[in-house]
Amino acid sequence: MSQTLYQLDVKDLAFPPVELAFTEPNGLLAVGGDLQPQRLINAYSQGIFPWFSENDPLMWWSPNPRAIIKLDNLHINRTLRKALKKSSYKITLNTVFEQVIALCADAPFRDDGTWILPEMQTSYANLHHLGFAHSIEVWQTNSIDEPKLVGGLYGVAINGFFSGESMFYTSSNASKFALVALAELLRTIDVDFIDCQLLNSFLEDMGATEISRENFVAFKQTAINKEVPANFWQPRELPIN
């Protein structure tokens, strides 16, 4: 029996239950709607995210299985551990969000285009100004030049639930440093996982695994129920060990 793809109404912010997502393509739940902040917040609160290419309709996803990194399983190999100890990088939080998302959209390693289209960048910048989207920035520092942004990541946070969207690097290990810094930050409020949405080789190397949608929804809800200090996401420099 064929499934019918759910069409969102721009006047209605509701989504269908995630259990109705297609198995092929994996996780496609609905099309249409818009990227207004409240719809995005509703989506991420349910573990749903938008992902579409230029000239495609707006598509919403809830894949099964789901990729996450349990922070206790974050893989820091010997080479990265040495780099962390010797690093001249500076790590900051939420100081240049719009620059990070623009660089993620145009990351040098992307050879298949990007889903981070201008309308997506604008929408997530709006979420950032509302306190729901955040960036980690990695800066190369030396005694002569101004610090240079060489890596980073961004994602959406609903209380203790952080859903990573994308990352970039232009210098060795910079995106890994961003991920380690995010993990250390989230540990300070006893958050124990990062949502990675879909598995790829980089995330797998860093310790990501796949879990069922059912388990993910339970993990996600526990994280959303966790209270976060009011100043937790304020822009600042982050320590990294």
Number of residues in the chain: 241
Residue 196: pLDDT over 90: yes
95 versus 3: which is more confidently predicted?
95
Query: How confident is residue 240, by pLDDT bands cut at 50, 70 and 90?
Result: confident
Q: What is the pLDDT of residues 95-125, one digit of tens each?
A: 999 999 999 998 755 455 568 999 999 999 9
What is the C-alpha separation between 191 and 167, in angstroms, rounded? 20
pLDDT for position 5: 92
> What percent of the chain has a predicted confidence (pLDDT) above 70?
95
pLDDT for position 1: 47
Q: Which residues pair with 136 in a beta bridge?
A: 93, 153
What is the C-alpha separation between 152 and 175, in angstroms, rounded? 6
Which domains, and CATH codes, for the chain? 6-64 (3.30.70.3550), 67-238 (3.40.630.70)
